[in-house]
């Protein structure tokens, strides 16, 4: 790969004219959010680094993943690579899993250049701001958060490096949202069963492949680090956290270390979420920060979320599509491609060959039982193998020429749903909608409805067997 960390990737973006530098002083609010929103509207949607944020000493970088050009460069592809080609290139590198990381001694890890142990003050280190106007507070929206199952502290594979929204509540206090179907929620539940704090590390400013994997719905016992190594074709450099023995990226810009306090909850939210609307406020876990490590002259990376498309939509587009594709392909080899780019897979389009009549419906039902499809996916469209699911004009052609609403559209009521989807009612429950837009395939055989006759001599043998049984009992 042409880069090893965020800094080197920014240099790559700049060499490809995919980075804008703002040197003039900028107000944290509303300017940083406006910049994040505006960047995706520009041609080629470059990343933006704000070097001088008023009131703070740390620069901010936005929109690192916020275009298909940046996404292609992250995958070491030419920046004009089409989306469908990026999907299949991602699949190719995905299959190199696992490429194990290498561990760097603490003294050699760039993220350990500065260690803060006393008088923790997040406002001294991070240029904090509200991402959207009515957020409940300042949010860290692009953190890679590491936790371990306290019941299996030596299990590297069951360690989680995930993305969760984090609200700043004080100089050393945060709120965090691990939803029940997230891996970190499993770790927290096990810690709270023993009334123990859960060590976590909140890693900011990472190799973009690490942020991609932290937001990817992989299996519980798969390692985000091993997948990141596969995508890069080389091991990720890790080091140990100062607390809790967690494996953290050695080249992150900033790491906040601390604990989720057991059995403590406080109101968190509202927050402007990926569906383009504010979430509600809920009782969520509380985090106490006890240590900060960072590089010299660190860079703070954050992510703007708003009405699609913004950076979050690019970040979770193909990395949501590919795991669903791999899971479907394993059971239904006729599946050709999956487009789950819309609102983190709430809407999904699948292209498949049809092996027999009703095959498209079977594919859709399997999708709705995958780990991501079950809670997230609400609308599933299945099209023929010759329809490109990434080409909405072709998909609309299939919908308008292949669908009979009386037989090709059906609903599944009272199913699991994504609580952040404002249309779920109650929150976390949905009616799923399946549209089978494949060309009808005839059944493999014609059905013969002629009834079977009773075999000749059945009555005779019934009486004979009855007599034999009577003799054996006497």
Provide the residue-wise pLDDT of the chain in tens; the chain has 474 residues.
689 999 999 999 999 999 999 999 999 999 999 999 999 999 999 999 999 999 999 999 999 999 999 999 999 999 999 999 999 999 999 999 999 999 999 899 999 999 999 999 999 999 999 999 999 999 999 999 999 999 998 888 889 999 999 999 999 999 999 877 788 899 999 999 999 999 999 999 999 999 999 999 888 888 999 999 999 999 999 999 988 899 999 999 999 999 999 999 999 999 988 788 888 899 999 999 999 999 999 999 999 998 888 999 999 999 999 999 999 999 999 999 999 999 888 999 999 999 888 999 999 999 999 988 888 899 999 999 999 999 999 999 999 999 999 999 999 998 888 777 777 788 878 899 999 999 988 766 656 667 788 899 999 999 999 999 999 987
CA 401 – CA 168 distance, rounded (Å): 51
Confidence at residue 228, expressed as pLDDT on a 0 to 100 scale: 96
User: CA-CA distance, 295 to 113, in Å (whole number)?
Assistant: 5
pLDDT value for 231: 95
Is 100 within 8 Å of 271 (Cβ atoms)? Answer: no
Q: Are 72 and 35 in contact (CB under 8 A)?
A: no
Q: Which residues contact 117 (CB under 8 A, 6 or more apart)?
A: 290, 291
> 158, 242, 253, 273: which is the annotated catalytic residue?
273
Pairing state between β 160-162 and 247-249: unpaired
Q: Are strands 173-176 and 166-168 parallel, antiparallel or unpaired?
A: antiparallel
Residues facing 430 on adjacent strands? 415
| DSSP assignment letter at 131 | S
Of 297, 295, 298, nearest to 112 by C-alpha is: 295
Beta strand pairing call for 300-301 and 60-62: parallel
- The reported pLDDT for the residue numbered 243 is 87
Q: What is the dihedral of CA 125, 130, 135, 141, to 10 degrees?
A: -60
* Predicted local distance difference test score (pLDDT) of residue 420: 76
Question: Which residue(s) pair with 103 in the sheet?
Answer: 238
Name the pTM for this structure.
0.87
Preceding peptide of 308 cis, ω within 30°: no
pLDDT of residue 452: 80
Whole-number pLDDT of residue 133: 93
Angle between helices 318-331 and 359-367 (to 10 degrees): 120
- Classified as helix, coil or strand, 71 is helix
Nearest of 341, 355, 295, 422 to residue 5 by alpha carbon: 295
- All domains in the chain, ordered by first residue: 6-312 (2.30.110.10), 317-437 (3.40.1670.10)
Of the candidates 23, 30, 265, 238, the one whose C-alpha atom is nearest the C-alpha of residue 129 is 30
Report the largest interatomic distance among the alpha carbons of the chain, rounded to a whole angstrom. Answer: 106
Render 316-384 in DSSP notation, one character per residue: TTHHHHHHHHHHHHHH-TTEEEEEEEETTTTEEEEEE--SSTTHHHHHHHHHTTSTTTTTT--EEEEEE
Q: Is 273 a catalytic residue?
A: yes
């Amino acid at each position: 790969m042409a880069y090893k960390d965020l800094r080197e990737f920014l240099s790559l973006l700049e060499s490809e004219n995919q980075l804008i530098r703002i040197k003039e002083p900028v107000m944290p609010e509303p300017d940083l959010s406006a910049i994040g929103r505006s960047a995706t509207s520009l041609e080629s949607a470059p990343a933006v680094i704000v070097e001088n944020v008023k009131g703070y000493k740390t620069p901010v970088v936005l929109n690192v993943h916020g275009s298909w050009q940046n996404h292609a460069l992250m995958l070491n592809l030419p920046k004009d690579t089409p989306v469908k080609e990026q999907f299949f290139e991602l699949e190719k590198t995905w299959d190199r899993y696992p490429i194990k990381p290498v561990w760097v001694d603490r003294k050699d890890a760039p993220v350990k250049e500065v260690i803060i142990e006393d008088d923790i003050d997040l406002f001294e280190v991070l240029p904090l701001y509200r991402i959207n106007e009515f957020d409940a507070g300042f949010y860290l929206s692009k953190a890679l958060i590491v936790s371990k199952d306290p019941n299996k502290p030596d299990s590297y594979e069951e360690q989680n490096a995930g993305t969760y929204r984090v609200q700043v509540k004080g100089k050393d206090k945060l709120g965090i949202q691990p939803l029940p179907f997230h891996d970190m929620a499993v770790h927290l539940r096990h810690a709270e069963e023993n009334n123990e704090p859960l060590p976590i590390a909140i890693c900011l400013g990472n190799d973009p492949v690490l942020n991609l994997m932290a937001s990817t719905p992989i299996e519980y016992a798969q390692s985000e680090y091993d997948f990141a190594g596969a995508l890069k074709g080389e091991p990720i450099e890790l080091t140990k956290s100062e607390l809790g023995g967690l494996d953290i990226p050695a080249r992150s810009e900033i790491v906040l270390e601390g604990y989720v306090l057991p059995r403590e909850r406080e109101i968190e939210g509202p927050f402007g979420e990926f569906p383009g609307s504010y979430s509600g406020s809920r009782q969520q876990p509380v985090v106490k920060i006890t240590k900060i490590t960072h590089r010299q002259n660190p860079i703070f990376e954050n992510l703007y979320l708003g009405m699609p498309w913004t950076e979050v939509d690019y970040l979770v587009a193909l990395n949501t599509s590919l795991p669903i594709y791999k899971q479907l392909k394993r059971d239904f080899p006729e599946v050709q491609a999956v487009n789950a780019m819309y609102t983190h897979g709430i809407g999904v389009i699948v292209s498949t060959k049809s092996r027999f009549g009703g095959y498209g419906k079977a594919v859709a039902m399997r999708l709705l039982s995958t780990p991501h499809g079950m809670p997230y996916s609400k609308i599933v469209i299945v099209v023929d193998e010759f329809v490109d699911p990434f080409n909405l004009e072709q998909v609309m052609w299939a919908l308008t020429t292949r669908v009979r609403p009386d037989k090709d559209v059906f609903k599944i009521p009272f199913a699991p749903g994504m609580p952040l989807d404002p249309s779920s009612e109650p929150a976390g429950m949905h009616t799923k909608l399946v549209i089978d837009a494949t060309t009808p395939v005839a059944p493999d055989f014609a059905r013969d409805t002629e009834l079977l006759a009773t075999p000749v001599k059945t009555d005779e043998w019934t009486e004979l067997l009855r007599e034999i049984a009577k003799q054996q009992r006497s």
